[in-house]
Amino acid sequence: MNLKLWGAGTARTLRPIWMAEELGLDYKLFPIGPRTGETRTEEFSLLNPKQKIPLMEDGDFVLSESLSICRYLQNKYPSDSMPLPSTKEERAKEDEWCNYIYGEMDETALYVMRRHYDLTEIYGESPIVVKACREYLDKHLKVVDKHLEDNETIMEMGFGVADIMLVSCLDWAKFYKFDLPKITMDYHNRMVNRSDYLKARDINYA
């Protein structure tokens, strides 16, 4: 297999695995985890000096960052099951949503919360930070809920990379006991019943 994915067990590693399943790709998974020492081995560090997962190898091409990997796979191996943007405007709008989800929901809210909620032995306990992150994410969940009032998926063209980004964050939010707004909850229920999501979830969290 030319396609190899490194990393499993987190919301971020779910994304490329789910994308590969949706596209029907053959790949080899190396299910290493974060903070286990596996990302610090000489073999992995040569591939990714950042020592972070997920990571992708496609032949000689190596790529890190979950969003970049998902977008690369969708463009390199297009499938009728996941339409690509057909105009510059659609592509820009998809980028806007992906950057918004990753920047505001993942990095600014959920991951900061994780540091002071799950990883207190490393980053220290801070109820004030956790509370602020909860309030911040709730604010952006309302933005998403409003958008989903008139949309079955993030983009009008159908299921795509923005949905993979969002659903992985909603999974994370539910794990942290957030109450999702009604429309967002319905959307999440539809997405997590996709057969390829179920495959990817079982692979990622095996």
- What is the separation, in whole angstroms, between the first and last Cα of the chain? 21
Q: What 3 state SS string does 131-166 have?
A: HHHHHHHHHHHHHHHHHHCCCCCCCCCCCCHHHHHH
The DSSP bridge pattern shows strands 55-58 and 28-30 to be unpaired
Beta carbons within 8 Å of 57's beta carbon, 6+ residues apart: 3, 4, 6, 47
Q: State whether residue 105 is helix, strand or coil.
A: helix
Section 187-199 average pLDDT:
98
User: Tens digit of pLDDT for each residue in 58-80?
Assistant: 999 999 999 999 999 999 999 98
Copy the structure tokens of residue 90. 């659609």
Helices 11-22 and 161-175: crossing angle in degrees, nearest 10, is 140
Q: Which domains does the chain have, with CATH numbers?
A: 3-81+198-204 (3.40.30.10), 88-194 (1.20.1050.10)
pLDDT at 1 over 70: no
pLDDT at 31: 98
